[in-house]
Amino acid sequence: DGWTGYKGLEKEFPKLLREKSEKKGKNFPQLHRSIMMFKAWLRGVHHSVHYLQSYINEYTYRFNRHKMKEGIFENLMKRMISAPPHPYKMIIG
């Protein structure tokens, strides 16, 4: 059925949905815009791609959080307060 290559991914990606054929390709403009934004960001901020994976990781982090109302600092503080404490011995041991 053309879906066999994705068998087993249901556990890793429970929200993975199969699109009906009339909907395929509708998100290409958004995908193209995201790729163009990444390329512009990479050219503007990093003039070399020596550490490309690190740059991609940073861009992904920023892109996934660009609609958050709170800033990165506020988000970090909220996560630190809501997480259980980790004693030093647990971190180094």
55 alpha carbon, distance to own chain's centre: 12
Confidence of residue 6 (pLDDT cuts 50, 70, 90): low
Segment 7-55, tens digit of pLDDT: 666 666 666 666 676 766 777 888 888 888 888 888 887 766 778 888 8
* Lookup: tokens for 76: 């970090």
The structure tokens listed for 72 are 């990165």
Q: With beta carbons less than 8 A apart as the criterion, state whether 65 and 59 touch.
A: no
Model pLDDT for residues 75-85, shown as the tens digit of each residue: 888 888 998 88
Q: What is the pLDDT of residue 5?
A: 59
Closest to 18 in 3D by CA, of 33, 38, 42, 2:
2
Taken in order 22, 37, 70, 75, the sign of the CA dihedral is positive
Structure tokens that stand for 33 in this block: 């815009």
pTM: 0.42
